[in-house]
Chain A
Amino acid sequence: MVPTSYYVILSAVLFGLGVIAFIFKRNIISIFMSIELMLNAVNLAFVAFSQSKGNLDGQIFVLFVIIVAAAEAAVGLGIIILIARNRQSLNVERVDLLKL
């Protein structure tokens, strides 16, 4: 049997990698994908805890996370399309209208 802590550590590692991707990638879509990666990592943790407690609440929550992620992805990609149209570029560093 795989100990729960292994799953949770894997979840932590994936989350950390998601954070690094979030900071380092320059393409907006790639940043968005890193967010999805982070959400997935959290899902993994939820399911692991749900199994270890024998409680199904965790899995239900995972369902909801997936639903919300889907909605968020739809809207977010819509925004990305707008940004791409406006700035003619998918480089997040070009979105700098707040810069003095």
Chain B
Amino acid sequence: MTPQLLIFFVLAALAVVGSLSLILQKHPIHSALSLIVVMVALAGLYLLMGAEFVAAVQIIVYGGAIMVLFVFVIMLLNAGIEEHTNFSKLAGYAGVPLGIALTGFIAAAIARSTDTVHAATTGGTIASTRQISTMIFKEFVYPFELTSFLILVAIMGAIVLAQREK
């Protein structure tokens, strides 16, 4: 058991526990906090893989901005413990089996897939920020500029949608 494997298992367990907690918690704020735990765990996994920039972006943007937004909205809407209604029989009975089926499919796909997945292990190459930024501004400049557009539209949309009623 190499140290990396150990760390991987710890972080993986943390992520899984966090998502289970997301499912099982009744109050949405607890689910939000669980999600933050998951994201931090994933950031750790990225670091383990050597993708430091992505890990940093994950924590800053996802954990620091998006989840904060979620928490703010929960606070704004005074979300309480969710009421237990069950109008949809279909969801009640078919939900878990479907989820497991989906997971099963993907797992099976991996199990049968090519060597790329099996044989190659994660290399220890650390992806440098310099390389990533070069790629962004050289090869992926077009999508990058488009995302700025996207964010602008999102901002406007959010403002219009959440306006206080006149």
Binding site for B on A (CB under 8 A): 1-10, 12-21, 23-27, 29-30, 32-34, 36-37, 40, 43-44, 47-54, 56-57, 59-60, 62-64, 66-75, 77-82, 84-85, 89-91, 93-94, 96
Residues of B contacting A23 with CB < 8 Å? 91, 94-95, 98-99
A1–B2 touching, CB < 8 Å: yes
Tally A-B pairs: CB < 8 A.
Answer: 253
Contact between chains at A2 and B4 (CB < 8 Å): yes
Bound Cα distance A33, B23 (Å): 10
Closest chain A residue to B148 by CB distance?
Answer: A67
CB contacts under 8 Å to A, within B57-92, are 57-58, 61-62, 65-66, 69-70, 73-74, 76-77, 79, 82-88, 91
- B122 and A7 contacting across the interface, CB-CB below 8 Å: yes
Main SS class of interface, B: helix
Bound-complex Cα distance A34 to B60 (A): 19
Docked Cα-Cα span, A26 to B94, in Å, equals 15
Sort A-B residue pairs by CB-CB distance and give the 3 closest, nearest first: A16-B103, A78-B161, A71-B154
> Which one, B51, B62, B83, B98, contacts A59 given CB within 8 A?
B51
Q: List 26 A-B contacts (CB under 8 A).
A: A1-B123, A2-B4, A2-B48, A4-B116, A10-B15, A13-B103, A14-B19, A15-B102, A21-B19, A26-B82, A27-B31, A29-B31, A30-B31, A49-B116, A50-B51, A50-B127, A59-B53, A71-B150, A71-B154, A72-B154, A74-B154, A75-B154, A75-B157, A90-B79, A90-B82, A91-B82
Q: Chain A: which residue is nearest B124 at the CB level?
A: A1
- Which one of B12, B42, B122, B161 lies within 8 Å of A75 (CB-CB)? B161
Give the chain A neighbours of B5 by CB distance below 8 A.
2
Given known A33-B70, A78-B157, contact A19–B65 (CB-CB < 8 A): no
With contact pairs A17-B19, A54-B125, A78-B162 given, residues A29 and B69 touching in the complex (Cβ less than 8 Å): no
**Nearest-CB residue, chain A, relative to B111:** A5
